């Protein structure tokens, strides 16, 4: 299956993506993760994208499209993939249409209040694990023991900017995919497992 996860920052795309990978075994392509890994490794791309990300701005389309296009050409994507955080603009969606055809776009809908609380309380581990201070109080990762950190863009100013950017540049994708008959919107619940049941009921129809 070839799917896209759409939703505002903090809607829970990454969390649902992990569950989808476990259940369906498709490759998870996260542009945010790809950029963060480039920053950690100190690559040329990492140096370029850092300032955009820190400010909560989108990385320019050309760079983002190039990274995703290359990844989609890899062998493991032949039978399916899940894009998380891409596309985030109409030009990115158009580039994706040229590269492949999708089976569904899952739009995770969450209120702004909830998103704000989620992002300000989010704690990350370099192994990819994500926690929230309301349910996890340790400073170390339960999976690998490393110290947790707060993403630079999970601070107040970048969060505001990211939500603004989402409304202006990413939200138009909802009607873009609606018109194509691909959009499946689910209202996210507080319980991760309840949201996943909704996601699963859509994905099971695609198998």
Active site residue 88: yes
Positions touching ligand AMP (CB under 6 A) are 9, 31-32, 35, 52-53, 56-59, 64, 85-88, 92, 153, 162
Query: Sign of the C-alpha dihedral, residues 43, 48, 52, 58?
Result: negative
Query: Sign of the C-alpha dihedral, residues 25, 27, 30, 36?
Result: positive
- Annotated catalytic residue within 2, 36, 118, 162: 162
Rounded (10°) CA dihedral 92, 115, 55, 141: -100
- Annotated catalytic residue within 50, 55, 71, 151: 151
Rounded to whole angstroms, how far apart are CA atoms 37 and 15? 18
Active site residue 71: no
Active site residue 123: no
Chain-centre distance for alpha carbon 84:
4
Q: By C-beta, is 9 or 12 nearer to ligand AMP?
A: 9
| Residue pair 151/40 in contact by the 8 Å Cβ criterion | no
- Annotated catalytic residue within 2, 36, 88, 123: 88
Q: By C-beta, is 100 or 201 nearer to ligand AMP?
A: 100
Which residue number is nearest to ligand AMP in terms of Cβ?
32
Active site residue 36: no
- Annotated catalytic residue within 2, 36, 118, 122: 122
Active site residue 162: yes
Residues in the chain: 207
Smallest gap from residue 204 Cβ to ligand AMP (A)? 25
Q: Which residues are catalytic?
A: 13, 88, 122, 151, 162
């Amino acid at each position: 299956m070839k799917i896209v996860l759409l939703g505002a920052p903090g809607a829970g795309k990454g969390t649902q993506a992990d569950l989808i990978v476990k259940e369906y075994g498709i490759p998870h392509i996260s542009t945010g993760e790809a950029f963060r890994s480039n920053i950690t490794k100190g690559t040329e791309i990492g140096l370029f994208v850092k300032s955009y990300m820190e400010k909560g701005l989108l990385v320019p389309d050309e760079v983002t499209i190039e990274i995703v296009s290359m990844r989609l050409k890899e062998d493991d994507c032949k039978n399916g993939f899940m894009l998380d955080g891409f596309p985030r603009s109409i030009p990115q969606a158009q580039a994706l249409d040229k590269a492949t055809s999708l089976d569904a776009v899952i739009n995770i809908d969450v209120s702004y209040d909830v998103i704000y609380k989620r992002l300000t309380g989010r704690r990350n581990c370099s192994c990819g694990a994500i926690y929230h201070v309301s349910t996890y109080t340790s400073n170390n990762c339960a999976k690998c023991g490393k110290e947790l950190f707060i993403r630079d863009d999970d601070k107040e100013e970048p969060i505001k900017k990211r939500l603004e950017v989402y409304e202006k540049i990413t939200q138009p994708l909802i009607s873009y995919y609606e018109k194509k008959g691909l959009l499946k919107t689910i209202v996210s619940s507080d319980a991760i497992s309840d949201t996943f049941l909704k996601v699963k009921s859509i994905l099971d129809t695609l198998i």
